[in-house]
Amino acid sequence: MKIALFVPCYVDQFYPGVAKASLAILENLGYEVDFPLNQTCCGQPMVNSGFVKEGEKVTDHFRSVFQDYDVVVGPSGSCVHHLIHHAGIGKTENDPKVYELFSFLSEQDVMPTMTKPFPHKVGFHFSCHALRGLRLGKSSELVGEGFSVIQPFIDAIPQAEWVPLDQVDECCGFGGTFSVFEDAVSVNMGQRRLADHQSHGAEYLVSIDSSCLMHLEGVSRKQKDGLKFLHLAELIAMVI
Taking the CB of residue 85, how many other CB atoms lie within 10 A of it? 13
Residue with the larger pLDDT of the pair 233 and 48: 233
* pTM for the whole structure: 0.95
The rounded percent of the chain whose pLDDT value lies above 70 is 100
User: Averaged over 159-175, what is the pLDDT?
Assistant: 95
Q: Please check the confidence at residue 113 and state whether its pLDDT lies above 90.
A: yes
Residue 94 pLDDT: 86
Residue 112 pLDDT: 96
Q: Please check the confidence at residue 92 and state whether its pLDDT lies above 90.
A: no
Residue 189 pLDDT: 97
The rounded percent of the chain whose pLDDT value lies above 90 is 88
Phi, psi (rounded to 5 degrees) for 223? -80, -15
Closest CA to 127 of 75, 191, 172, 190: 172
Q: Please check the confidence at residue 16 and state whether its pLDDT lies above 90.
A: yes
> How are the residues of the chain apportioned to helix, strand and coil, as percentages rounded to the nearest 5?
45, 10, 40
**Whole-number Å distance between alpha carbons of 186 and 152:** 30
pLDDT digits (tens, 9 = 90+) for 22-45: 999 999 999 999 999 999 999 998
**Whole-number Å distance between alpha carbons of 40 and 37:** 9
